[in-house]
Amino acid sequence: MNTPNLEDMGCGTSSATKDKKSEKALKAALVIQNWYRGYSARLKTRQRYALTIFQSIEYADEQGQLQLSNFFSFMLENYTNVPEKEPGLVTRLFGSSIQDKDRQDYLGLIEIPDSYCGPRLQFPLTFTDIDLLIEAFKQQQILHAYYVLEVLFETKKVLQQMPNFTHTNTSPSKEITICGDLHGKLDDLFLIFYKNGLPSVTNPYVFNGDFVDRGKNSMEILMILFVSFLVYPNDLHLNRGNHEDFMMNMRYGFTKEILHKYKLHGKKILQILEEVYTWLPIGTIIDNEVLVIHGGISESTDLNLLHRIERNKMRSVLMPPIPMDGDRAEKKNKLGTATVALGIRTSGSFSEQLTKQEWEQVIDILWSDPRGKRGCYPNTNRGGGCYFGPDITSKILNKYQLKMLVRSHECKPEGYEICHDGKVITVFSASNYYEEGSNRGAYIRMSSGTTPRFFQYQITKATCFRPLYQRVNAIESSAIRMLKERMISRKTDLIRAFQLQDRNKSGKLSMGQWAFSMENVLGLNLPWRSLSSHLVTTDKDGNIDYMSGFQDVHIQKPVKEVQSSLIETVYRYRSDLQIIFNIIDSDHSGLISMEEFRSMWKLFKSHYSVHIDDSQFDELAERMDLNKDGSIDFNEFLKAFYVVHKFDQLNKSDTKLA
C-alpha cells in the first residue's frame, strides 16, 4: 500500500520554506551573539578600568609608605630630642623589642577564665588542634590571648632553626600546593582547604607571604597557618611577604585588628609578632628547580648572599640601614644646624643591622614585579624593588640552575598569570580583593616533571546573585569613589594646575589639557580621557568644566576657620602621620604632648616640602586639644578629617566607565 505524500496533499511545509526559516533563525542568533559579545566586552572593559584605578591607588599608597623610610632617617638626624629624651624611639625603630624578656614575662600574668568558651589548644600541638581552630573560627570565636602568645613563641622558636630558603621535594604521587596573598580573607583559606585538603605530610603547602592586612581576619589566618606549621614544620612552608612587617601593619589594618580583638593584651601580641616576622624564611625552593618568593628579582639578585644573610635583622622595609661613623657623630641637618646623629647604641641595635647591599637584596625579593619590557628598572609605581624583564628572569634562573619563578604580590583578575615565556607565574589567592566580584583567587599544584595545574575560585556572597552588569556597576562605583577622594585631597594643587592651563580664565579646558593636569598632579598613570565622563562635565564642544570634579565631594573640616590647603594636606598624609605619631607614642597611651606634636609636624613639613604656615597648624592643634591639658589624642585628631560624598545614592544608581 502506497503512503500518500503529505506535501502533495497540502498538509506539509516545503523544503524551501524550511530553509528560509532556518536562515532567518541563524541570522537572528548571529545578531544576538554579536550583541552579547559586544556587551560582554564592554563590561570587561569597564571592569578592567575599575581594577586599574584600584591598583594604581594601592601602589601609590605603597609608594608613600616606602617614602616614610627616608623620613625616619631624616627625623632621627634632625629631631634633637631623640637621644636625650626618647632612647626608646631608637630602640623601637632599630632595636629588638623583647630580647630582654622571656616567655614567662608575657604569659605569667595572663589567666584563662572559666567563662572562656573559645578553642583551647593543647601543647604540643597535633592535627586535632588545627581542626579545632578552623571549626572555632568558622563560628567566629576568638582565640584567647594566652594561646595566641603561646603559638607565637613556639612559632618563633621553630622558625629560628630554619634556613633563609626552605628546600622541599615532590614526586608524581606527592604534589605541593602554592598559595599567594590571602590578606586576611579567611573564607578564601577555608575554601582552599575544602577543595584541596588540610596540610599534612602527604599534602604539603607553600604560603607565599602577605597573610595579613586589608582583610578583617588576619589574626585567624595567622593562627591557622602557624598552628599548621607547628604540627607539620617540614610540610607547610611560610615565606615572608612585604606585609609581614610591623610598619606596614600600622597602615593597612592588622595592628588595628589586633588592638580591637585583644584590648587587654594586644600590645604584647604586637611586640612578639614583630620578632616572629623577622624569622620567617624569605623563600622556598622546590625540587631544586622552582624558586618561590613573594615579589621578584633584579639583575643583581644574589641567591648565595640571600642564603647567608641574618634575615632576623630585617625588622622593616621602612628601616634602611643607617651608616655609622662612630658612637656619636655630629652631622649638619638640612636646616644647617648641628645635631647629634644616630650615633647612640640601644640594646645593640645598630650592630644588628643588615648592610645596605643585604637590605636592598631583600627589598627586591619582597617588592619587585615582572614586566614585558626587557631589562631591570626602578619600580616607580610601588616606590620599592624593581621591574624585571624576561631577559633578567632567564639570566637569574640560568645562573642558579633553576627552571621557574613562582611569585605573588600582585592581584590578577583570574587569580594567576603566566609571563616571561612560561618562566614566571604569579599566583594570588585573595578573591574579591578590591571589591566584591573584582577578581578570582587561585592556587597552584605542582610536582617534579609535571606541568603546574591552576585552580580558581571566588567566594560568593548574596550580591553575586545579582546580574553581571549590577556587579560591575558596584565595582566601578567603589573605584570612582576612591579616585574622587584622591582628587579632593589634592584639590588646591589640581586647581592651580588647571588655572595654569586656563589662560583665558574661562573655567574650561580641552580634554588633553585636563588629562595632562590630572596625571601631572596625581601621578596615577590612569586613562583619564576614558574616565573623564565619570569625573567631570563636558560641554557640547568637548571642553571640560574642571571645577565640576569637586562639586559632589569635600573634606569635612574639624575647625571651620582653618584653611582648606592645611585640611587637604593633613587628610592626604593622615596615614603617614598616624604611623609617625604611633612610633613617637612609646607608652601606647594614644597621646602626645603639644610640643612633640608641633616638633614632629615641622620636621614632616620640611621633609615633604609642605608649604603651610606654622601658625595655621598651631591654631588647629590648639583647637583639637579639647580639654586643654597640653596633650592631643592623635588618633581622634586624624579621624576628624574625612571625605563627605554628597551624591552617593545618585552615583550608585547608574555608574559607567565605558
Q: Is residue 428 part of a domain?
A: yes
Predicted local confidence at residue 12, as pLDDT: 55
**pLDDT digits over 30-55, tens only?**
888 888 788 788 888 888 889 999 99
Residues 6+ apart with CB under 8 A from 85: none
Say whether both 570 and 511 belong to one domain: no
When computed from its CA atoms, the radius of gyration of the chain, rounded to whole angstroms, is 29
Say whether both 251 and 390 belong to one domain: yes
CATH of the domain at 375: 3.60.21.10
Pairing of strands 165-168, 283-286: parallel
Q: Is residue 22 part of a domain?
A: no
**pLDDT digits over 313-363, tens only?**
998 887 777 665 444 344 333 233 333 333 333 344 445 688 999 999 999
Q: Taking 70 as the threshold, does the pLDDT of residue 59 lie above it?
A: yes
527 vs 529: CA distance, rounded Å: 6
Give the confidence band of 582 by pLDDT, cuts at 50, 70, 90. Answer: confident
Among residues 243, 294, 409, 607, the one annotated as catalytic is 243
Say whether both 493 and 616 belong to one domain: no
153 vs 230: CA distance, rounded Å: 11
Say whether both 128 and 175 belong to one domain: yes
Q: Is residue 273 part of a domain?
A: yes
pTM for this model (two decimals) = 0.86
DSSP H helices in 536-587: 564-572, 574-584
Residues 6+ apart with CB under 8 A from 270: 246, 255, 258, 259
Cβ atoms < 10 Å from Cβ of 265? 18
367 vs 536: CA distance, rounded Å: 35
Map grid coordinates 628601616 to a residue.
Answer: 319
User: Of 424-428, 477-481, 575-579, 644-648, which one has max mean pLDDT?
Assistant: 424-428
Least confident span in 76-85, 124-133, 482-491, 567-576:
76-85
Asked if residue 381 lies in contact with residue 124, where contact means CB atoms within 8 angstroms, the answer is: no
CA 475 vs CA 73, 236, 347: distances in Å: 39, 35, 49
Q: Is residue 290 part of a domain?
A: yes
Least confident span in 145-149, 386-390, 593-597, 624-628:
624-628
243 catalytic residue (yes or no): yes
Q: Is residue 349 part of a domain?
A: no
**pLDDT digits over 152-197, tens only?**
999 999 999 999 999 999 998 899 999 999 999 999 999 999 999 9
Map grid coordinates 566601578 to a residue.
Answer: 476
Say whether both 497 and 641 belong to one domain: no
10 vs 6: CA distance, rounded Å: 6
Say whether both 289 and 382 belong to one domain: yes
Q: Is residue 42 part of a domain?
A: no
Say whether both 359 and 268 belong to one domain: yes
Query: 310: helix, coil or strand?
Result: coil
282 vs 293: CA distance, rounded Å: 7
569 vs 582: CA distance, rounded Å: 19
Residues 6+ apart with CB under 8 A from 134: 190, 193, 198, 224
Q: Is residue 409 part of a domain?
A: yes
583 vs 487: CA distance, rounded Å: 29
CA 137 vs CA 113, 256, 273: distances in Å: 19, 19, 20
Per the structure, the count of domains in the chain is 3
Predicted local confidence at residue 88, as pLDDT: 52
253 vs 276: CA distance, rounded Å: 18
Say whether both 381 and 528 belong to one domain: no
Q: Which residue has the higher pLDDT, 607 or 551?
A: 551
77 vs 69: CA distance, rounded Å: 13
379 vs 369: CA distance, rounded Å: 8
DSSP type of residue 313: G
Range of the domain at 138: 111-323+355-458
Predicted local confidence at residue 464, as pLDDT: 52
With a pLDDT cut of 90, the percent of the chain lying above it is 57
437 vs 459: CA distance, rounded Å: 9
Q: What does residue 480 show for φ and ψ, rounded to 5 degrees?
A: -65, -35
Average pLDDT, the chain: 85
**Please, how many CA atoms are within 13 Å of residue 654, restricted to the half-sphere of its CB?**
1
Element at 444 (helix H, strand E)? strand 441-446
- 457, β-bridge pairs: 441
Pairing of strands 176-179, 290-292: unpaired
Say whether both 541 and 573 belong to one domain: no
Q: Output the 3-class SS for 323-389.
A: CCCCCCCEEECCCCCEEECCCCCCCCHHHHCCCHHHHHHHHHHHHCEECCCCCEEECCCCCCCEEEC
CATH of the domain at 542: 1.10.238.10
Predicted local confidence at residue 346, as pLDDT: 37
153 vs 276: CA distance, rounded Å: 8
252 vs 225: CA distance, rounded Å: 20
Asked if residue 333 lies in contact with residue 389, where contact means CB atoms within 8 angstroms, the answer is: no
Q: Is residue 92 part of a domain?
A: no
Q: Output the 3-class SS for 580-593.
A: HHHHHCCCCCCEEE
| 595-599-601-607 Cα dihedral, nearest 10 degrees | -170
Predicted local confidence at residue 115, as pLDDT: 94
**Measuring CA to CA, which residue among 21, 41, 45, 22 is closest to residue 33?**
41
Say whether both 393 and 510 belong to one domain: no
Say whether both 450 and 516 belong to one domain: no
Question: Considering 506, 524, 550, which residue would you say is the last residue of a domain?
Answer: 550
Say whether both 525 and 640 belong to one domain: no
Predicted local confidence at residue 349, as pLDDT: 45
